[in-house]
Each structure stands twice: as C-alpha cells, then as structure tokens.
Structure 1
Amino acid sequence: MSVFRPALDGLVPYEPGKPEEEVQRELGLDRVVKLASNEGPWGPFPAALEALELSARALNRYPDGGAFHLCNALAERHGVTSAHVITGAGADAIIGHLSVAALDPGDEIVTGWPSFISYVLDALKLGATARRVPLRDHHLDLDAMLAAVGPRTKLVYIATPNNPTGTMTGRVELAAYFERVPEHVLTVVDQAYFEYIDEQDYPDAIEEYLKAGHQVLVLRTFSKIYGLAGLRIGYGVGAPDVIEGIAKIRRAFDVNTQAQVAALASLDDEVELERRRSLTAEGRALLAQTLCEHGLEPAGPAVANFLFAEVGDDAVPLFEALLRQGAIVRPLAAFGAPGALRITVGTPDENHFFASALASVRAATT
C-alpha cells in the first residue's frame, strides 16, 4: 500500500529545463538565449545589489520570519496595515499556502484555461476539483467563470494579465464580476506583471477591490521587472483574516534574508522601473513584428513581458528547431495549449537573436 495520497496518482513531478550552459554544450552552440520563463532580463536593481552585499555577512542568522521591514514597507506603499500583507517564496508559494489553508477534498477552484498552472496543480494535489473555463479570444471569460462557480467553490483565480496569453482583464469587466461573485468565494487577482502595464483601463486590484471591501487576495511579485526571480520573493495583500489563515500553514523562515533585503531596496527606484517598463514595451513590439513576419500572429493586445503564439497542432517541433538555434522558449502543453509557444521579452540584443533564430528555422522549412 502506498504511503502517498491517491490525489497524487495522476500527477507527475515538475521537470525543469536544462541549464543554458548544458544546452550550449550538448548542442555545440556558440550562444544560448533563454526566453522561456518570463524573467526580467536586467538583473537586480543597483540598490538591491548593494543591499545583498551588505547583508551577506549576516547569513549565519536565520531570516526574519515575519519579514517585518518588508511587510511594513509594502503596507505603507499600498495604504494598508501590515496585517494585510504576507510574503512568500514567490507569489507561487502563496498560491500553494492558500490552497493548503482553504481546500479540502471535493472543494473546487475556478480558473480560466489556459492560465497559470499552479492554480490547477495545487488544487489537484489536495484532492480538490479544478474547473477550467476556456478563454474567449485569448482573454479570460469572467461570465463563464462565474457560471462555473458552485456551492463548493472556494477560490476563483483571475490572472491579469493572464499567463500564458499575456492579455489583461479590464476595469469594467472586473467591477461587473465583483458585483456578482458569491460571498462564499475568495477571488485571487494575480497581478504578477503589474509594474509592466501602462494601460488606462488596467486596475490596481488593491485600491479598487480590496479597499472597497470585496473578498479578494491580490498577488504581486519581485520575480519579474525587479529582477529577483532567483531569490524567490512575492507577496499577497488581503483582508487580515485571509492573511492570518495563510500564515497558519506557512513555514517560519520561507523567505530568506537576501530576498527580503533585495526586495526592500528595490521599492523606491521609480526611474529604473520606468526604464525597464519602456524597454519591455519596445521589445514586445519587436517580438510581435518578428512573429507576424513569419505568419505567427501573437495573442493580444499583449501587455506584459511575453507573447503567446499559436503555431499549429503541436508546438514541440518549432520549439526544438529554435532550441537547435540556441533560442529557448516555452512550449505550453502543460498550460493547456499544446499548439502554442510563449516567448519572453529579452534585452534588445536577445530579441534580435530570437528574430535571427526564427528566420533561420523558417528558411530551412520553406
């Protein structure tokens, strides 16, 4: 008899991609560019690098289990109390903690599909049911998602922008959703790419929904535009009872010292934030043009630091052909889109590298 829960029987362990240097060695390439994981390509902010160096000598000590200084700074930034804020090893960890805190076998979550895979996996691990609602024109269909809510629905996930399609849900649609969602449901608005977006219709879910009294948890991260993906640091903002429920199951020291000090030091550099936002918009436009030139129209309007493109019934052959050219992108079968690729916006040089790789692949197949 297995010691493991039956809910795990249909799941497979996460299979990470190979390191870039290993891909380069195996394929005998001069250069490999990774545009697969929606990371920011510029690394930590200068102030974060300085903070990392200063804190390194204290790494013999356990981290601050409550992330006191970071939580207070985030609370001040968002105009809430520290009781409204929780940190985690990436926003992904908070999704996992919330799932453990909220879901029993037979409970349900609702999400658009394709969307961020952890919403589904973290529910299935606990024996809960994930109701996956098809997108409409690559956008979340909030009306259909509301129709999928039942008496056992605990969580509804709204990723805006949606990963992997890169499309956003606007203010009018979200306001209408919150007017209709049943009171027993906690809505998770995942705004991991919040800082990239400069659209008038894009809402700040903390200001517009949490502070209006809606049952909502808003997720943000330092993994993207802030360049701290390797340190794993994200946070959630919600009502104190929601934060307390999540805190009951999180590990005491799950956010390391380096992550805390780097995130705190990154908060006030608006100039660098705007520089990265502008460069990303330029790079996104270049990548979109590149894809269109080769008959691959990206989903849109895309507003984050990546593009989604349907390339046929099976995206693996194009993924592998690009890999042989040194360009690593993300095939999306695990996200529910087996015929699509996701391409992250890189530096200008990396974007041009991808354009050359795609041109080479297309030339060899036409």
Structure 2
Amino acid sequence: MTQKPLAEADPKLIRPALADLVAYEPGKPVEEVQRELGLERVVKLASNEGQYGPFPAALDAIERASLELNRYPDGGAYRLRRALADRHDVRFEEVTVCAGADAVIGYVTLATLDPGDEVVTGWPSFATYVIDPVKAAATPIKVPLRAHRFDLDALLEAITARTKLVFVAAPNNPTGTTNVRAELDAYFDAVPSHVLTVVDQAYFEYVDDPSYPDAIEEYAKAGHRILVLRTFSKIYGLAALRVGYGIGSEDVISAITKVRRAFDVASVAQEAALASLDDSAEIVRRRAANREAMTLLKRTLRDAGLDPVEPAVANFVFVEVDDAVALNDALLHRGVIVRPLGSFGAPNALRITAGTPDEIAFLGDALAAVTALRPGV
C-alpha cells in the first residue's frame, strides 16, 4: 500500500540558515548492517565507543533506577552536579550536566551566538563544532590542521571582533592527536578576552601523556575564559545513556541552563554516572586495556599496508587511504563498520576504533580479504 504524503509546510516556515546544512550522520548500527547485508556477525569500530559496558556499580544503579521510570528525572541533575563540583573542586554553579558533551556544545552555541557571529575551529574535526553554529545562522571559520593537529597559532590569527567561540578538541576527533601543554599555554596567553574557548576533552581519561594538560585544573582555575567538556560516553561505557558535562564560569553555565531542555538527562543516566565516579581502579584498568588495544590495532593496520596517524592518544586511529568510500564499503560487506570521514572534512580517510582483541582480529581478517581481492584499496 502506497501511503499518501502529508501536506508540506509553507516554504517560508523553515529558516533559511538551514537550507544548506547537512545533518550529522551517525555511524551505522550493527542491526542495520546485519539486516541490509544478511551478515551473521558484524563488528562496530566506528563510533569511538569504549571496549566495555558500564562499570559494575553503574549496572546496579541502573537496575535500581529502572524501578522509578514512571517518574521524571531530576531536571537539575543536582546530585550529579554536586558530585562533579566536589570531584573537580569547583562551585556547584560552575557545572552543567547535559545529554552528552555534544549537547553542551549545542546549548553553548544557542546561548551565545547571534546571526553573523563567528566561531573558529580546526578542521577536520568534530562536525558538531560547525553544524551547531550554522543552526544559529552564525559563521564557522574552519582552520586547516597542521600535521594532523590543531594549529593554535592559526586559530588565533582567524579570530576577529565577530568571534565569540573557539573550539579546541584535545584530543581531536577524528585524527586522534592532541595539542600539548606548552602549545595550549601559549594559546591562552594570547587569546583575546572577548572569546570563550571551548576545550573538548571527551577522551581525557584515555590519555597518559604527562605533557597533556587537565584543562579544568590548568586553565579554568587559572582564570581563563573557558568551557571544558567531559563525558561518560567513552571510558565509562555509558554512550547509550547520553550524559556529559561542562565546567565553566557561572554566567556561562547560567546561560546554558536557560536554553537547556527541562529534563535533559534521564534518571538512569544520572544514577549510572554517579555510581561510576569513584571507581578509579577500573579507569586505570580500562586505560591500560585501551593502550594494548591501540598497539594491536595499529600493528594490524600496518600489516595491511595502512599507515595510521601518530601519535594517536585516545581510543581510535585516523587512516588516510586512496579510496575511503571503496574501502569502507568493502569492509562493511565483510561485517566491519568503520567511519568514513567526509562529514568531518576528511573525505580520503577512515576513523577506526580500538575494539577488543577479538574485534581487531576480525578487522584484520577483513582487511586481508579486501586487499587480496582489491590491491591498493
């Protein structure tokens, strides 16, 4: 039965700023690939998710919270905000908790940007840094990376009187590289005072390089105008629950609160995040496991003739190839989901997550089959 389309809206209804906007395209889910291609086993190495699920204490908290799913969550996420404020030794009013760190990005753009304002970011990088400003009819200024890392000097040069936000991803998604303390120190010494710098540290817990700074401790508390992002989606294994947070000055957090949805973070997400905060031993274990997985992943890729960008400090690698579309499609048909990066500004590259040893072995077998059939792909 052919369904009749619903009546279209008046052409003037949709804001012109959205006309050329390309919506964020998430990685394909496993079930979709199994359904479309008829595959029994599919491994997802596309979305930089952690290797493991929630912490044991988080699973217990989720079970308890599920008994109250008929109740709306605490809209202000009071207990989680209080715990995060205590953890980072900042004021309660300097913490916002939202449905993922990307939600904080959306809310800070909504709170700060008017049509014609500018946002500066490195590129290629996380697509939301560009998509969300366009939603507000602001102008994103995309500064090319240097050696696959944010060129902080070039970012400074791109700032004008119209610039309100600068996004700095440390580590950068999708390249997996990061700027180090000396570079960020120099940036913050030079950035104009009218700019709010948003430092995205979504992969903070994975990095064990001593030259990598804690932006909350070293820049927020030092008096710089900054909003620092963190998330429970990665090493904490709570990606499906959508919970992240930002640390910034009270005026910025208050503005975010005004545009934030009333019940942004589900009760189970708040409780799972709370239960995860005190298990530092599990963070250490997962960081070590990720380090081993990254070593194995890079060796597997090099064995297949690929050259991942170094130094990759998070839980994924960036690989430039001759034909990213063809290689992505070939891997997909062998049950491996990786991330093509056209929407991130890198059409000739793939991003591959460090999964479990078994998943990486499955990737290796798929790569061997692909390169045997299509040398040079």
TM-score range normalised by the length of the shorter chain: over 0.9
Measure, in 2, the Cα distance between the counterparts of 1:66 and 1:35.
Answer: 34
Q: Could you say which residue in structure 1 is the equivalent of 2:127?
A: 117
Q: Matches of residues 201-216 of structure 1 in structure 2 within 5 Å?
A: 201-216=211-226
Quick one: structure 1 residues 18 and 178, their matched pair in 2 at CA, closer, same or farther if it must change by over 3 Å? closer
Which string of whole-angstrom CA distances, capped at 9 and with x for unpartnered residues, describes residues 280-333 of structure 1?
A: 111111111111222211111000000000012x31100000001100000000
Given candidates 331, 334, 345, the residue that maps to 1:322 is 331
Given candidates 266, 278, 281, the residue that maps to 2:276 is 266
- For 1:350, give the aligned amino acid: E
- Please tell me whether residue 76 in structure 1 is matched to residue 93 in structure 2: no
Measure, in 2, the Cα distance between the counterparts of 1:5 and 1:19.
Answer: 31
What secondary structure sits across from 1:248 in the alignment? helix
Given candidates 150, 174, 179, the residue that maps to 1:169 is 179
TM-score by length of structure 1 reads: 0.98
Given candidates 5, 19, 23, the residue that maps to 1:9 is 19
Q: Could you say which residue in structure 2 is the equivalent of 1:155?
A: 165
Q: Could you say which residue in structure 2 is the equivalent of 1:52?
A: 62
Measure, in 1, the Cα distance between the counterparts of 2:143 and 2:32.
Answer: 38
- Please tell me whether residue 251 in structure 1 is matched to residue 254 in structure 2: no
Measure, in 2, the Cα distance between the counterparts of 1:26 and 1:213.
Answer: 52
How many pairs does the alignment contain?
A: 365
- For 1:92, give the aligned amino acid: D
Q: CA deviation at 1:11?
A: 1.4
Q: CA deviation at 1:2?
A: 2.1
- Please tell me whether residue 183 in structure 1 is matched to residue 193 in structure 2: yes
- For 2:65, give the aligned amino acid: S
Q: Matches of residues 1-366 of structure 1 in structure 2 within 5 Å?
A: 1-312=11-322, 314-366=323-375
Measure, in 2, the Cα distance between the counterparts of 1:236 and 1:323.
Answer: 35
- For 1:345, give the aligned amino acid: A
With 231-240 and 8-17 compared, the bigger mean Cα shift is at 8-17
Structure 1 residues not aligned, in runs of 5+: none
Contact 2:27 2:339 in 1 (8 A): no
Measure, in 1, the Cα distance between the counterparts of 2:172 and 2:53.
Answer: 23
Quick one: structure 1 residues 14 and 157, their matched pair in 2 at CA, closer, same or farther if it must change by over 3 Å? closer
Measure, in 2, the Cα distance between the counterparts of 1:35 and 1:327.
Answer: 7
What secondary structure sits across from 1:111 in the alignment? strand
Q: CA deviation at 1:16?
A: 4.2
Measure, in 1, the Cα distance between the counterparts of 2:94 and 2:229.
Answer: 12
Q: CA deviation at 1:61?
A: 1.1
Structure 2 residues not aligned, in runs of 5+: 1-10
CA RMSD of aligned residues (A): 1.0
Measure, in 1, the Cα distance between the counterparts of 2:29 and 2:210.
Answer: 39
What secondary structure sits across from 1:178 in the alignment? helix
With 285-294 and 63-72 compared, the bigger mean Cα shift is at 285-294
Q: CA deviation at 1:14?
A: 3.8
Q: CA deviation at 1:17?
A: 4.4
Measure, in 2, the Cα distance between the counterparts of 1:12 and 1:202.
Answer: 33
Measure, in 2, the Cα distance between the counterparts of 1:18 and 1:347.
Answer: 19
- For 2:253, give the aligned amino acid: I
- For 2:126, give the aligned amino acid: F
Measure, in 1, the Cα distance between the counterparts of 2:105 and 2:22.
Answer: 19
Identity %: 65
- For 1:337, give the aligned amino acid: A
Q: CA deviation at 1:355?
A: 1.2
- For 2:198, give the aligned amino acid: V
Q: Could you say which residue in structure 1 is the equivalent of 2:8?
A: none
